[in-house]
Amino acid sequence: MKTELRFAVAGRARFLSHLECVDVLLAAFRRAGMTVALSEGMRPKPVISLAAARAVGVASEDELATVRVVGDPAPEVVADRLKATLPNGIEIRSSRLSPGTPRVVSARYRVLVDAAPGVLDAGIAAFSAAGCAPVERRSPKGTKLVDVAQYASAIEVVDGGFEVEVAIVQEGTARPEEVARALTALTGAEITVRGITRTALRVGQQVAATDEGPEERDT
């Protein structure tokens, strides 16, 4: 059986990469005296996966890990033992028996920004009306246009910034800072991102959990 853990990443720990987070969790399991099961096959890997890779620098109030622990300890036991061995900035929020492989369909973000009064309201109104909000995404592979409007919804102004729901689909997703850039483009006014926190991951219908077959470590 697998355990599903929900945890938060805050402070300096938000600068850990996705892979580093996986390794931090694995070491915490070992310090807690728990063994993460290994997959079958020629190159066994720990059966642990983190859903929806978090960008480096983004804090999170809702990360989701699925893990199989040798001996099948109860989820609450796993959480309790893990709490004592995690480094500062990573905190277990809840645990339960995994109902199946999680399929994250969207993530909600809180984006703190510096912007003149009224700019965000105007930007959100323009965004709703636009229907298309292209921004450039640069990567080592090159530059491409991403239509943020395809993914972003439910944008609302909050204290110090805005919140946005971003869909995660097979074709891709939008990054919260890209939403801020789209708002900047639509208003022509400067919107500077000061910090991003993922506040929730929404999970769709889950594939039934099985203990058969290997599962690669999600890196």
In order of 111, 196, 216, the CA distances from 159 in angstroms are 10, 13, 40
Shortest distance, position 57 Cβ to other proteins, whole Å: 5
Complex with other proteins: residue 23 or 147, whichever CB lies closer: 23
- Residue 136 lies near other proteins (rule: CB under 8 A): no
Radius of gyration of the chain (CA): 19
**Interface region with other proteins, contact rule CB under 8 A, candidates 8-16, 124-132, 146-154, 162-170:** 8-16
Size of the site for other proteins (CB under 8 A): 23
Q: Which residue in 5, 8, 9, 13 binds other proteins (CB under 8 A)?
A: 13
Residue 88 near other proteins by CB under 8 A: yes
Question: Does residue 39 bind other proteins (CB under 8 A)?
Answer: no
| DSSP-assigned states of every residue in 157-213 | EETTEEEEEEE-BTTB---HHHHHHHHHHHH-S--EEEEEEEEEEEE-SPEEP---S
Return the range that interacts with other proteins (CB under 8 A); candidates 10-18, 68-76, 94-102, 123-131.
10-18
Task: Indicate whether 85 belongs to the interface with other proteins (CB under 8 A).
Answer: yes
Least gap, CB of 107 to other proteins (angstroms)? 19
19 binds other proteins (CB under 8 A): yes
Q: How far apart are CA 200 and CA 169, in angstroms?
A: 16
50: Cβ contacts below 8 Å, ≥ 6 apart? 18, 21, 22, 25, 63, 64, 65, 218
What is the H or E stretch that residue 24 is in? helix 18-31
Question: Of residues 89, 99, 100, 134, which one binds other proteins by CB under 8 A?
Answer: 89
Angle of helix 176-187 relative to helix 119-130, nearest 10 degrees, comes to 100
Per CB under 8 A, does 111 bind other proteins? no
Amino acid at 106: S
Binding site for other proteins (CB under 8 A): 11-13, 15-17, 19-20, 22-24, 26-31, 56-57, 85, 87-89
